[in-house]
Amino acid sequence: MVVILSEPLNIAVIIKLEPDFSEGNVSYNPNGTLNRAETKNTLGPHSAIAAHAAFFGRVMYDAKVSIGTMGPPIADLALKQAQQISDAGELHLYSDRLFAGADTLGTAEVLRVGIGKMQGKMDIVFSGHRASDGETGQTGPQTAWKLGFTFLGNVISYSVDLETRMIRAKRLISLQGSSNVIEEVEAPLPVFISIDPTYKSSYNTVSQRLAFQKYQKEATQRADNYKDYFKIFNAKELGVDETLVGLPGSPTIVYKVERVPKSTATRQSEVIDGSDPEQIRKVVAKMKEALAAMVIK
Amino acid sequence: MVEKYRHLYVVIEHEDGEFLPVSLEMIGEARRLIDDFNVKYSSNEKVVAVILGYDIQNLSKQLIEYGADAVIYADNPELKDVRNTIYTKVIGQIAQDTKSLGEIEPEYASDVKKPRYMFFAADSIGRHLSSTVLVELESGLASDINKLVIEDIEMSHQQKTGGTKETYAKTLEMYRPDFSGFLWTTILCLDNRNPAFKRDYHPQSCSIIPGVFEPLKSDSSREGKIIEFTPTIDPQDLKVKILSRQIIKSEVDFETPKTIVSFGRGIKDDPESNIKLIENLAKQLNAEVGVTLPMSKKPYQISQILDSKYMIPDRVIGTSGHKTSAMLYIAAGVSGAMQHVWGMKNSGFVVAINPDEDAPIKDECDVFIKGRMEDIIPLLIEEIKKQIQIVEA
């Protein structure tokens, strides 16, 4: 174990309750769109990865972890799930009808104020890469900018020097039409990290694994009694500026949602009966032809 | 009255002295939009490329040739690599720099405050940069856009207009496909005209999916203004040090193989065995395996080894993943959502396997094998073994 003489590390995680896309829980309309009424909700998968990254800080640096989310009252479920992963000692739900309908800017404002209400001055704030339903990936960096924290995106691993209060992180940058790059950066705390989907914590030494087990056990105990750690805040309790949150604080609106028009058929397909071996033989012959024709070209 | 907002600013990305393709695609689309805009509104607004970096003067010139009316560039050693904080600050400064706006159009110099519209790339850099820049500029942002229209929109909105009917002229309709690829959501960024909380929200901004729009051909006869912007650099904004940059190769290769076999929700009856079937089919054809976007969200309980190998974003074919022009594309249990079709439509010969003849993929393939993949893939494998000898590349 690391002997810690310096200031303890404070970590916050912002998470989201999302539709559960796993089979058996997700429901699709006949036209292929998500049936939200029938689909269950759960801690978003990217939020879960962010919680794992926070737990890494708990194990390695004895960090204190706080979790915040903006959502409806049932979002306490996501907080409990994230506590089970991260061993958080503080769970915040920011919930008010005034927050409803916010775009990412209006959401980031609530999260900024909420993080300020957490115990301790935050050193690292984690968010997931993006939500599975909204998929904008904007809320994290926008919260970071509002907090005035250095933003590091697509982080795949990190380590902290508690003495110098510096963080080192590896980032995975993928750009279309160019090679992927792993960039290693160093920055003073505080930082805001949006965690890459490929992030995995690794615990290599015996002492790390022992700490892992200890905190995991604690996480289970805490999550069993998650209400003891749980606080809910409405707009008034948070003290947000009501013109900066919810619909008034959202520059963008959803103007319309439509079914993507069926494009005109780009190919005329031949429909064949898959149970007829003779037909399958012909298809494979065509596949062979296609591959050969292209080679000559 | 002269408006406070003019022009479309496009934030350019480049790597090792080359433009990323999306940069030129954005310029192409911006050119088309602004040309139509200027005809429709008898106006003379501009496509303005914004480029940051070190030693980039040559790139700046090329942006004019690709269709920009003006280029604003910031050339500084501290801008050599993209770092979110300093890039956000400098782009924010450029967007609010009335001096460069004045150089673009001296006659409006005293009136124009900010760009009307702003484009970023929807990639690892642009997604984050657009998010932070738009907080800095206190305006709205739509992400992952694949269609853009400029219209005058008349609407009555409880929040935006306080319930009265208003016309929002020159509004950018930003279309984004949802994760399923079947729905298109139109996002608007609108000023609050509601007297209770009036606020201007400009620029109207979005990030644009790479590969969607067509770039223009470079034309050396095009002319435009190239403006150097000298950024104010605060040492506080340089706290991130880049220690190393290492190029890595993805394990998934959609470039070399001649054939791609992809799968979607049609594996659902027995995901584990069906993925193994697809794996085997791919092996026979020396093919790479692709997936549809919903697969990358790990919807099934399957063995860890298949899960971590296949149900990953890196294998997604479509607007939020890769685009392929494979010689042979086999879509097994793929319904054919728009966002997937975009990624595979340039393939040579397309075979779909699907029990549902109404699936949109039927209009995107050359042969539609009607049936369940469980029944059909084994037959295909047998026949391939008889007919096709694949020589490893």
Q: Note the pLDDT tens digit of each residue in A241-290.
A: 999 999 999 999 999 988 887 767 778 899 989 888 899 999 999 998 88
Distance CA A109, CA A248 (A): 12
Residues B29-52: tens digit of each pLDDT: 999 999 999 999 999 999 999 999
In sequence order, what DSSP letters do the residues of B143-179 get, joined into one string? EEE-EEEEEEEEEE-TTTTTTSEEEEEEEEEEEEE-T
Q: Which of B22, B131, B291, B368 to mutate to test the interface with A (most CBs of A within 10 A)?
A: B131
CA distance B9 to chain A (A): 19
Mean pLDDT along residues A200-210: 94
Please name which of A244, A243, A100 lies closest in space to residue B195, comparing C-alpha atoms. Answer: A243
DSSP assignment letter at B199: B
In a domain, residue B333? The reply is yes
Q: What are B89's two structure tokens? A: 């600050």
Q: What are B222's two structure tokens? A: 């095009």
Mean pLDDT along residues B351-375: 94
Residues B111-156: tens digit of each pLDDT: 888 999 999 999 999 999 999 999 999 999 999 999 999 999 999 9
Residue A69 clears pLDDT 90, i.e. is over it: yes
Q: What are B377's two structure tokens? A: 């893939």
Residues B225-270: tens digit of each pLDDT: 999 999 999 999 999 999 999 988 777 888 778 899 999 999 999 9
Mean pLDDT along residues A158-163: 96
Residues B110 and B159 in one domain: yes
Strand pairing class (B225-228; B147-156): unpaired
Q: Where does a domain end: B238, B273, B308?
A: B238
Phi-psi region at B368: left, alpha or beta (left = phi > 0; alpha = psi -120 to 50)? beta
Residues B98 and B136 in one domain: yes
- Residue A231 sits at φ, ψ, to 5 deg, of -135, 135
In a domain, residue B249? The reply is no
Residue B293 clears pLDDT 90, i.e. is over it: no
Mean pLDDT along residues A91-119: 95
Please name which of A149, A168, A144, A166 lies closest in space to residue A157, comparing C-alpha atoms. Answer: A168
Q: What percent of chain A has pLDDT over 90?
A: 71
- Taking CA atoms, B184 is separated from A30, A141, B39, in Å, by 17, 25, 28
Q: How far is CA A36 from its chain centroid? A: 20
Please name which of B69, B57, B28 lies closest in space to residue B217, comparing C-alpha atoms. Answer: B28
Give me the pLDDT at residue B102, please: 87
In a domain, residue B247? The reply is no
Mean predicted lDDT score pLDDT of chain A: 90
Give me the pLDDT at residue A136, please: 82
Cβ A32–B180 below 8 Å, yes or no?
A: yes
pTM score of the predicted model: 0.86
Residue B295 clears pLDDT 50, i.e. is over it: yes
Distance CA B128, CA A155 (A): 13
Please name which of A86, A75, A24, A88 lies closest in space to residue A51, comparing C-alpha atoms. Answer: A86
In a domain, residue B393? The reply is no
Fold of A10-238: Rossmann fold (3.40.50)
Distance CA A86, CA A51 (A): 5
DSSP assignment letter at A149: P
Give me the pLDDT at residue A46, please: 92
Give me the pLDDT at residue B79, please: 97
Residues B164 and B268 in one domain: no
Residue A296 clears pLDDT 60, i.e. is over it: no
Mean predicted lDDT score pLDDT of chain B: 92
Looking at A132-136, A156-160, B329-333, which range is the least confident one? A132-136
The beta-carbon neighbor of B241 closest among A105, A185, A290 is A185
* Residues in chain A within 8 Å Cβ distance of B199: 243
- Could you tell me if A194 lies within 8 Å of chain B, comparing CB atoms? yes
Q: Where does a domain end: B238, B269, B294?
A: B238
Q: What are A175's two structure tokens? A: 């750009």
Give me the pLDDT at residue A295, please: 44
Distance CA B12, CA A179 (A): 18
Residue A223: pLDDT band with limits 50, 70, 90: very high
Residue A294: pLDDT band with limits 50, 70, 90: very low
Instruction: Give CA torsion, residues B309, B313, B319, B325, to 10 deg.
Output: -30
Residues B12 and B87 in one domain: yes
Taking CA–CA distances from B236, the nearest residue in chain A reads: A150
Q: Is A289 helix (H, G, I), strand (E, B) or coil?
A: helix
DSSP assignment letter at B98: H
* Residues in chain A within 8 Å Cβ distance of B136: 145
Question: Which residues, at least 6 apart from B261, have a Cβ–Cβ distance to it below 8 Å?
Answer: B278, B281, B282, B285, B287, B288, B289, B290, B330, B332
Cβ B187–A153 below 8 Å, yes or no?
A: no
Residue B292: pLDDT band with limits 50, 70, 90: very high
Distance CA B335, CA A173 (A): 30
Strand pairing class (A270-273; A150-161): unpaired
Mean pLDDT along residues B281-304: 90
Q: What are B326's two structure tokens? A: 């494979």
Please name which of B41, B33, B5, B25 lies closest in space to residue B150, comparing C-alpha atoms. Answer: B33
Residue B75: pLDDT band with limits 50, 70, 90: very high
Q: What are A178's two structure tokens? A: 């160019």
Looking at B11-25, B277-291, B314-328, which range is the least confident one? B314-328
Residues B156-179: tens digit of each pLDDT: 998 899 999 999 999 999 999 876
Question: Which residues, at least 6 apart from B257, have a Cβ–Cβ distance to it below 8 Å?
Answer: B286, B287, B288, B326, B393
In a domain, residue B252? The reply is no
Q: How many residues in chain A?
A: 297
Please name which of B176, B156, B158, B175 lies closest in space to residue B166, comparing C-alpha atoms. Answer: B156
Question: Which residues, at least 6 apart from B297, have a Cβ–Cβ distance to it below 8 Å?
Answer: A21, A45, A132, B179, B311
Q: What are A293's two structure tokens? A: 């024709």
In a domain, residue B250? The reply is no
Model ipTM value = 0.89
Handedness of CA B147, B148, B153, B157 (dihedral sign): positive
Residue B294 clears pLDDT 60, i.e. is over it: yes
Give me the pLDDT at residue B393, please: 45
Q: Are B282 and B289 in contact (CB under 8 A)?
A: yes
Total domains in chain B come to: 2
In a domain, residue B139? The reply is yes
Mean pLDDT along residues A108-132: 93
Q: Which of A280, A282, A286 to mutate to test the interface with B (most CBs of B within 10 A)?
A: A280
Q: Inter-axis angle of helices B373-387 and B271-284, to 10 degrees?
A: 20
In sequence order, what DSSP letters do the residues of A248-274 get, joined into one string? TT-SEEEEEEEEPPPPPPSS-PEEEET
Give me the pLDDT at residue A174, please: 82
Strand pairing class (B14-15; B18-19): antiparallel
Q: Where does a domain end: B208, B238, B268?
A: B238
Residues B115 and B163 in one domain: yes
Q: Where are the domains of chain A?
A: 10-238
- Could you tell me if A144 lies within 8 Å of chain B, comparing CB atoms? yes
In a domain, residue B253? The reply is no
The beta-carbon neighbor of A105 closest among B140, B268, B352 is B140
The beta-carbon neighbor of B128 closest among A45, A141, A273 is A141
Please name which of B339, B22, B84 lies closest in space to residue B209, comparing C-alpha atoms. Answer: B22
Q: Are A287 and B349 in contact (CB under 8 A)?
A: yes
Q: Are A192 and A144 in contact (CB under 8 A)?
A: yes
* Residues in chain A within 8 Å Cβ distance of B127: 137-138, 141, 153
Furthest-apart CA atoms within chain B: distance in Å: 76
Q: Is A195 helix (H, G, I), strand (E, B) or coil?
A: strand
Burial class (CB in 10 A: 0-12, 13-18, 19+), A164: exposed
Q: What percent of chain A has pLDDT over 70?
A: 92
Instruction: For the beta carbon of residue A134, count every other beta carbon within 10 angstroms.
Output: 18
- Taking CA atoms, A270 is separated from A274, B342, B350, B351, in Å, by 12, 21, 11, 10
Phi-psi region at B24: left, alpha or beta (left = phi > 0; alpha = psi -120 to 50)? alpha
Cβ B197–A28 below 8 Å, yes or no?
A: no
Give me the pLDDT at residue B391, please: 54
Question: Which residues, at least 6 apart from A200, have a Cβ–Cβ distance to it below 8 Å?
Answer: A52
Please name which of A144, A81, A85, A112 lies closest in space to residue A244, comparing C-alpha atoms. Answer: A112
* Residues in chain A within 8 Å Cβ distance of B388: 284, 287-288, 291
* CATH code: domain of residue B282: 3.40.50.1220
Give me the pLDDT at residue A35, please: 75
Domain of B383, in residue numbers: 259-387
